[in-house]
Amino acid sequence: MFGGLRKISTRVAASGLFRLPVFCGLVALSAWLFTGIGWLMWIEFFLSDSLYYREKRAPSGEIVIVQSDEAAVAATGRYPFDRELLAKALVRMDNAGAKRFYLDTLLTHSANRDEDDALESALTKLGPERLALTMARSPSERSIEGKLIIPLPRFGRHATSATLNYAYDPDRRIRNIFPLGTLPAVHAADWLTGRKGVPGIPLQLDFSVDLARIPAFNLLDVAAGKIPDAAFQGKSVIFGVNAYVAGLVVDVPVYKRISRAEFVALAAETRLQPQPLWRLSGVSSFAFLFGIALCVSLLFRNLRPGFVNIAFIAILAGWIGVASGLHQQTGLMVPLLPALAVILIVWQRTFLQTSRLGRTLRQMKQAVVGVDHAALLAAIDAMGEPAMLFDRHARILGSNSAFGHLEKVLSGTKAVDHTLVGTFGADGLAILERLHAAEEAPFALSVGHGAHRQHFDVRIRAIRTPVGIIGVAGFTDVSLARRREAELTTLAFADPLTGLTNRLAFHARLEAASASQAPFAVMLIDLDGFKAVNDGLGHDAGDQLLIGVAGRLRDLMQPQDIAARLGGDEFALIVQVAERTAAVAAAQTVLSAILPPFLIDGREARVGASIGIAMFPADERDGRALLKLADAAMYRAKAIKPAVCLHGDAPLSRGVSEGPTSRPQTAA
């Protein structure tokens, strides 16, 4: 019996039957590896998006969008929305029979008492069973998790916390929604639809859902009762802000840039679709490509040479149809470009043994099964983006010409050091750690200084060779995207009229200053006589006056101070002073700077100012409470305007020295 087994094994080895699985494995690995780096990955994204989302699907009809847009802001003068208007809209939709409400806006600060009371009343009526408020994490230098951003307690206690966890793909588009992990919230799409996905599995968004057919209404129209009750009866309503600024929009395939509310609606509609979408994992993708390589190889081996080209063309032409049909039947989104690459390589190997690609494949085979890494060097040399090979000892084994230019930028006038640490410094250790941990997720790398600073997404892949593990690092230049992100961030956190810090950014800076424990003063400034200028000379003159006041405030600020416009004719300052006398002196300086006339279109305009001051930490340690004390002090100052009032002291008119400096026993 054993003699028979030896004969069979000898015949199998002599026939070269083992060569085919090895070849198919190399082909699958090569296609999977190199189509996941650089511009080939972008082509795969383009092909997948074009094929799988080309046929539009009708939405379920269970989701409705209500948004506050520029018209609502212009009508109410409130950005991003008027809370009383939102409360009225919620009551109308509730009376119309709406099922659930998801408010995709961070209610993290107070507006005014009337607006907040009206909104809280509407939220109380709905309750956590029918209302969800969004929450998020802010970026933090101290923690990977970041700081948890939640609604004010007076709003949050009436609602369920819900959110979406997503990340951008290398082409700066969002295609998946990931599990929430440690976030103390529910999945927004699950909450809206009452359905749950498979735990731990990302939700692949379905961009074939026709977004234009999802009912969307303006907040003004809803609050005014212009929308029929039938539009909301039994529906889940998503409220959001339709403004194209950072944090309020997301970039997605097909639709490119959409509002967060529309994105949440797409996620909910995806959950409601009868056929969920799914992609193959890394191992499954390799097995799938291996199967294609094996099937095509066996087919070509059993065809006459004259029919191989015909079969190759037929397979290429039919592959897209097969992938589309498979997607429609099962929801599976198979890799397109890697499969095409596998078919092309198998055909090239079968029919064009003497071609350049055939020689490259033989070199790759030698590198993987026992010669050297020359094939990998040849492969990365053909890439347009910077790429390099390195080993577990942090030595750079080779690179392409694009990486050579990057290496010169990194080394500057120094001699080129062909090690990760010598080339990248501390980032070199991070690259090496990614190799040891087999971590393939891209990480950010910045090189250069000033206007010449470049930003890259670095992706590491570990390749097993006879001489050990070799790392392949691909560098994707994302400098333009980072610059655009920085510009959008500036637009989101700066007042568009004066260029000062806006309300949202001021509150964030105030919280950060409070956390630092260093003493400072908060000053609230309300202009006296601004309405008369605005009514008498016109709104353009009012804007010019506000710009002039902002300029004078900016000239007084030290680098560590903060000047902000909170809205209308109200300004706020954070001044780094420790003593109460110094704070009053600084406020008197601000008042003196505002009082001189402003020349507007050849005419003089004068305004006064009432300034309220509160000290950290002497008066209050909480930033928001400190702001309330400064606000109360400002209203006391209005009694003898123009004047300055320090919390706990009597108002001081211009030129009057400060009174007692001891901490008061009662609040202002």
pLDDT digits (tens, 9 = 90+) for 63-117: 999 998 888 888 888 877 889 999 999 999 999 999 999 998 888 888 888 888 9
pLDDT at 452 over 70: no
Based on the fold, state whether residues 474 and 543 are members of the same structural domain: no
Rg (CA), the chain: 32
Query: Which has the closest alpha carbon to 86: 104, 68, 110?
Result: 68
Q: What is the pLDDT of residue 467?
A: 67
Mean pLDDT of all residues in 231-243:
91
Q: Between 128 and 383, whose confidence is greater?
A: 128
Whether residue 304 lies inside any domain: the answer is yes
Whether residue 660 lies inside any domain: the answer is no
317, 352, 387 - which closes a domain: 352
Based on the fold, state whether residues 145 and 237 are members of the same structural domain: yes
Mean pLDDT of all residues in 533-550:
91
Based on the fold, state whether residues 75 and 27 are members of the same structural domain: no
Based on the fold, state whether residues 346 and 436 are members of the same structural domain: no
Whether residue 174 lies inside any domain: the answer is yes
pLDDT at 21 over 80: yes
Please provide the average confidence, as pLDDT, over all residues in the chain. 81
Whether residue 367 lies inside any domain: the answer is no
Region of residue 215 (phi > 0: left; psi between -120 and 50: alpha; otherwise: beta): beta
- Report which listed range, 171-175, 305-309, 362-366, 520-524, is most confident: 520-524
Based on the fold, state whether residues 255 and 301 are members of the same structural domain: no
Based on the fold, state whether residues 94 and 239 are members of the same structural domain: yes
Please, which contacts does 594-600 make with residues 24 or more away whose CB atoms are closer than 8 Å?
594/525, 594/527, 594/549, 594/552, 594/642, 595/642, 595/654, 598/544, 598/545, 598/548, 598/549, 600/537, 600/541, 600/544, 600/545, 600/548
Tell me the pLDDT band of 363, cut-offs 50, 70 and 90.
low
Tell me the pLDDT band of 655, cut-offs 50, 70 and 90.
very low
Question: Are the C-beta atoms of residues 598 and 605 closer than 8 Å to each other?
Answer: yes
Based on the fold, state whether residues 79 and 147 are members of the same structural domain: yes
Structure tokens at 366: 């030698």
Q: How far apart, in whole angstroms, are the C-alpha atoms of residue 232 and residue 68? A: 17
Mean pLDDT of all residues in 6-23:
55
Q: What is the pLDDT of residue 436?
A: 76
Question: Are the C-beta atoms of residues 202 and 177 closer than 8 Å to each other?
Answer: yes
Helix residue spans in 53-134 (DSSP H): 70-76, 83-95, 113-126
Q: What is the pLDDT of residue 413?
A: 53
Whether residue 401 lies inside any domain: the answer is yes
Residue whose structure tokens are 């040399």: 381
Whether residue 223 lies inside any domain: the answer is yes
CA dihedral 39, 40, 46, 49 (to 10 degrees): -130
- Report which listed range, 13-17, 97-101, 247-251, 398-402, is most confident: 97-101
Question: Are the C-beta atoms of residues 424 and 456 closer than 8 Å to each other?
Answer: no
Mean pLDDT of all residues in 460-468:
74
Based on the fold, state whether residues 409 and 310 are members of the same structural domain: no
- Count of the separate structural domains present in the chain: 4
What whole-number percentage of the chain has pLDDT above 90? Answer: 29
Q: What is the pLDDT of residue 129?
A: 93
Tell me the pLDDT band of 360, cut-offs 50, 70 and 90.
low
pLDDT at 366 over 60: no
pLDDT at 215 over 90: yes
Tell me the pLDDT band of 141, cut-offs 50, 70 and 90.
very low
CATH number, position 409: 3.30.450.20
Mean pLDDT of all residues in 118-131:
92
Mean pLDDT of all residues in 224-242:
92
257, 272, 287 - which closes a domain: 272
Based on the fold, state whether residues 636 and 607 are members of the same structural domain: yes
Whether residue 511 lies inside any domain: the answer is yes
Tell me the pLDDT band of 377, cut-offs 50, 70 and 90.
confident
Based on the fold, state whether residues 476 and 600 are members of the same structural domain: no
DSSP category for residue 213? G
Tell me the pLDDT band of 665, cut-offs 50, 70 and 90.
very low
Based on the fold, state whether residues 144 and 224 are members of the same structural domain: yes
Q: Kindly tell me the sign of the dihedral angle through the C-alpha atoms of 476, 480, 484, 490.
A: positive
Tell me the pLDDT band of 31, cut-offs 50, 70 and 90.
confident
Q: Between 64 and 405, whose confidence is greater?
A: 64
Whether residue 76 lies inside any domain: the answer is yes
Tell me the pLDDT band of 591, cut-offs 50, 70 and 90.
very high
Mean pLDDT of all residues in 351-359:
54
Mean pLDDT of all residues in 344-373:
60
CATH number, position 531: 3.30.70.270
Output the CA angle 49-54-56, nearest 5 degrees: 125
Structure tokens at 540: 């353009």
Q: What does 416-453 look like in DSSP terms, one character per residue?
A: P--BHHHHHTHHHHHHHHHHHTT--S-EEEEES-GGG-
Q: For residue 310, give its domain range.
A: 18-49+279-352
Q: What is the pLDDT of residue 365?
A: 58
pLDDT at 217 over 90: yes
Q: Which letter, b or e, does each residue of 436-466 get, where b requires 16 or more Cβ atoms within 10 Å of its Cβ? A: eeeeeebeebebeeeeeebbbbbbbbbbebe
Question: Are the C-beta atoms of residues 175 and 205 closer than 8 Å to each other?
Answer: yes
Based on the fold, state whether residues 402 and 507 are members of the same structural domain: no
253, 272, 291 - which closes a domain: 272
